C-alpha cells in the first residue's frame, strides 16, 4: 500500500515539475540574498573596524611631519608601508605645551621586498617605557615585554609565534601574533627601540635607509590632561609650531566614518531597490502562475482538498523556493568574500574587521528573515483571490 501524500510532498512535486518557473523565482531571490548578505557583512565589518581602531589609537592628539600625514594615515588604516621621520626633539617641545599630560613616540620604517628583508612590510618601533598606544594591546596578546631580538606581528602577515624573520639583515623571533584589529596594524611588525637600533645600525640598513641614527621619530602621540579641551590644545600646538601636522584622533576617524556613511547609504539604497524589484517580480510570477493553475486547484477542491490545504501547498512552495534561493545566494556570497577576503580588506580605504562566526550567523538570520518576509508578501495577493473562489468557479476560470 502506497503512503499517503502529504501537503509538503505535493508542494515539493509542484516545485520540481515546474523547473522554469522555479528557476526564475529562485534566481531573483538568489540575487537579492547575495546582495543583502554582502552589503550587511561589509557594513558591519567596517563599523567594527572603526570601533576597533578608535580603541587602538589610544591618543587624543597625533603630531606628524606636515608633508607625511597622508603616508602615516595610510600606514595606520590600510597598512601601506612608509618610512617617515623628523627630529626627536619634538617630543620635549610638545611635552611643554600646557594641557599635555604625556607623550609617546613611534618610528615608522618600511622594509623592502629584497634580500635584506623578509617582505615589503611596515615596521613600527616604540618605547615600552612610555608608550600608551601599542604596549597595552601587545601585552594583552603576549603577556610579556619584548627584547631587542623579538618582534610582535599583525595577524595578516602569515607569521607564527617562534618563527624567525629577517629585516635589513637583522634576525628576529616572533614573540606573538596580535588579534585582528581591522586597521593597518594587522599588516605591521612591531619592534621596541633597542630592536630598531639594531636595524638602523646594520650594514644592510646603511645601503637602503636614509636614517643613520636613532635621533628620529615619525609620530608623537599625546594625551591631554583632564579638564583641558582637546581641540584647544591641538590649536595651541598648531599655532605655536610650523612644519608639523596636528590631528585630533577622533576627527581622523570622523573622516573615515564619513566615507563609510557614503558607502552605507549606497548599500542601503541598493538593498531597498532590490527588495522592491524582487518582490514585484515574484508577486507577478506567482499571480500569473496561480491564474494558470486555477483549473488544477479547482480539481483539487472538487476531489476533497480543503482550501486550507490548498493554501498550505502554495505557501510551502513559496517557502521552498525562497529558502533554496536564499541559502544559495548567501553561500555564493560567503564563498566569494572568503576567497577574496584578503583582497577586499587590502583595498578598503577604511578599517575593515572581518566578522566572527556569531556575527556572520546573525547577518545570515537577518537575510533569511527578509527574504522569507518577501516570499510571504509575494503569496498574499494570490491567496486572497484564491480564498474567494470555490472549486466550480476555479474550474470555469481555468478553462
Last residue of a domain, one of 249, 266, 301: 249
Q: Are residues 278 and 365 in the same domain?
A: yes
pLDDT of residue 350: 62
For residue 123, is it within any domain? yes
214 and 65 in a common domain:
yes
User: Is 203 in the same domain as 70?
Assistant: yes
d(Cα 30, Cα 321) in Å, to the nearest integer? Answer: 10
149, 173 in Cβ contact below 8 A? yes
Are 118 and 223 in the same domain?
Answer: yes
Task: Tell me how many domains the chain contains.
Answer: 2
The answer on 155 and 93 residing in a single domain is yes
Residue 2 in any domain: the answer is no
pLDDT average, residue stretch 78-103: 84
Give which of 373, 281, 384, 323 is closest to 25, Cα–Cα: 281
- 157 and 117 Cβ atoms separated by less than 8 Å: no
In a domain, 32, yes or no: yes
Residues 6+ apart with CB under 8 A from 215: 87, 88
φ, ψ for residue 192, nearest 5 deg: -80, 175
The pLDDT tens digits for 225-280 are 998 999 999 999 988 887 788 888 877 766 666 767 777 788 788 778 877 887 77
Which pLDDT band holds residue 118 (cuts at 50, 70, 90)? low
Q: Are residues 152 and 239 in the same domain?
A: yes
Please give the residue range of the domain that contains residue 324: 7-52+256-397
Last residue of a domain, one of 209, 233, 249: 249
- For the chain, the average pLDDT equals 79
- Out of 215, 232, 249, pick the residue that ends a domain: 249
Residues 166 and 314 in one domain: no
CA distances from 263 to 43, 86, 334, 399 (A): 8, 36, 20, 52
pTM of the full predicted structure? 0.66
Per-residue pLDDT tens for 324-363?
A: 999 999 999 988 888 877 677 666 666 666 777 888 888 8
> In this predicted structure, what is the pLDDT of residue 1?
43
d(CA 229, CA 235): 10
Mean per-residue pLDDT, 308-317: 80
386 within some domain: yes
Same domain? 262 vs 295: yes
Residue for cell digits 599583525? 154
Residue 224: its pLDDT value, please? 92
Identify whether 1 is part of a domain.
no
Amino acid at each position: 500500500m502506497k503512503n499517503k501524500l502529504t501537503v509538503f510532498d505535493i508542494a515539493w512535486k509542484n516545485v520540481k515539475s515546474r523547473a522554469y518557473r522555479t528557476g526564475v523565482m529562485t534566481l531573483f531571490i538568489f540575487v537579492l540574498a547575495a546582495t543583502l548578505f554582502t552589503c550587511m557583512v561589509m557594513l558591519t565589518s567596517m563599523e567594527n573596524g572603526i570601533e576597533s581602531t578608535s580603541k587602538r589609537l589610544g591618543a587624543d592628539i597625533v603630531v606628524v611631519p606636515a608633508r607625511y600625514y597622508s603616508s602615516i594615515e595610510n600606514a595606520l588604516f590600510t597598512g601601506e608601508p612608509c618610512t617617515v621621520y623628523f627630529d626627536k626633539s619634538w617630543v620635549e617641545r610638545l611635552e611643554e605645551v600646557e594641557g599635555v599630560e604625556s607623550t609617546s613616540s613611534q618610528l615608522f620604517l618600511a622594509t623592502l621586498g629584497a634580500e635584506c628583508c623578509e617582505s615589503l612590510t611596515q615596521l613600527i618601533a616604540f618605547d615600552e617605557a612610555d608608550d600608551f598606544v601599542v604596549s597595552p594591546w601587545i601585552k594583552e596578546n603576549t603577556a610579556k615585554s619584548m627584547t631587542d631580538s623579538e618582534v610582535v606581528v599583525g595577524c595578516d602577515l602569515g607569521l607564527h609565534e617562534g618563527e624567525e624573520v629577517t629585516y635589513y639583515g637583522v634576525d628576529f623571533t616572533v614573540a606573538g601574533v596580535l588579534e585582528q584589529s581591522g586597521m593597518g596594524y594587522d599588516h605591521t611588525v612591531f619592534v621596541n627601540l633597542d630592536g630598531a637600533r639594531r636595524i638602523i645600525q646594520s650594514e644592510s640598513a646603511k645601503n637602503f635607509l636614509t636614517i643613520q641614527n636613532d635621533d628620529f621619530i615619525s609620530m608623537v602621540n599625546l594625551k591631554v590632561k583632564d579638564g583641558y579641551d582637546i581641540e584647544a590644545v591641538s590649536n595651541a600646538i598648531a599655532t605655536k609650531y610650523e612644519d608639523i601636522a596636528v590631528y585630533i584622533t577622533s576627527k581622523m576617524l570622523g573622516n573615515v566614518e564619513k566615507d563609510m556613511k557614503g558607502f552605507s547609504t549606497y548599500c542601503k539604497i541598493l538593498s531597498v531597490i532590490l527588495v522592491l524589484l524582487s518582490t514585484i517580480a515574484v508577486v507577478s510570477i506567482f499571480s500569473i502562475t496561480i491564474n494558470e493553475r486555477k483549473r488544477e486547484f479547482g480539481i483539487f477542491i472538487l476531489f476533497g482538498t480543503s482550501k486550507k490545504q490548498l493554501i498550505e501547498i502554495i505557501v510551502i512552495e513559496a517557502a521552498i523556493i525562497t529558502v533554496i534561493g536564499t541559502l544559495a545566494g548567501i553561500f555564493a556570497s560567503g564563498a566569494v568574500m572568503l576567497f577574496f577576503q584578503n583582497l577586499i580588506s587590502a583595498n578598503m580605504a577604511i578599517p575593515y574587521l572581518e566578522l566572527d562566526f556569531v556575527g556572520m550567523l546573525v547577518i545570515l538570520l537577518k537575510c533569511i528573515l527578509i527574504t522569507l518576509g518577501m516570499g510571504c508578501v509575494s503569496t498574499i495577493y494570490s491567496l486572497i483571490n484564491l480564498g474567494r473562489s470555490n472549486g466550480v468557479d476555479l474550474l470555469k476560470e481555468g478553462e
